Amino acid sequence: FTVLTMSFVFVVESPVLFYVLFELSVIPLGYLLVVHGDYPERLLATSYLYLYTFLGSVPMFVAVLVLPICSVFELHGVGSYSPIISVFLLALLVKLPIFSLHMWLPKAHSQSPVLGSVLLAALALKLASYGLFRVLSSL
């Protein structure tokens, strides 16, 4: 599921599909933390993961809803709307190891099993980097 979701993120042009697939990529990570983690604070780490990504993605969701009003239906058309760009950047930077926005990351890495930590580092963080590249390349 994770690989399929992330594969589609790389090819979609629609901001709505990008948002949905971007957020769906967090679900398997939480599953790995809760079900396969053997550490006592895994529920706290999972709640941090979901809370930070949810709070970071709410503004991105609002921006995705505003884009059709601005007659923008593809990601490469977002560049001319700077408030929307900044909202997209906020949501993407939460998933990157950026100071003060990544408080969930050390907890998730320390409480996850090896596979969860590898998926988190290799896929989720790179997905946010790719999303950042896609949004900034539309400028």
* The pLDDT value given to residue 111: 82
**Between residues 43 and 100, which one has the greater pLDDT?**
43
DSSP annotation of 76: G
CA distance 124 to 86: 20
Best mean pLDDT range from 3-17, 49-63, 79-93, 104-118: 49-63
HEC string for 86-99: HHHHHHHHHCCCCC
Structural domain spans, the chain: 2-137
CA pseudo-torsion sign 119, 123, 86, 30: negative
The residue with greater pLDDT, 70 or 127, is 127
Q: What is the DSSP letter of 113?
A: -
CA atoms of 135 and 104, how far apart (whole Å): 23
Q: What is the average pLDDT score of the chain?
A: 80
Q: Tokens 């890495």 belong to which residue?
A: 109
Give the count of alpha carbons within 13 A of 52, CB side only.
Answer: 24
What pLDDT is stored for residue 135 in this prediction?
Answer: 78
User: Rounded mean pLDDT of 4-18?
Assistant: 81
Does the structure show a pLDDT above 60 at 36?
A: yes
pTM given for the model: 0.77
pLDDT in tens, 68-91: 776 655 666 555 667 777 888 888
First to last CA, the chain: 31
**Nearest of 59, 62, 56 to residue 96 by alpha carbon:** 56
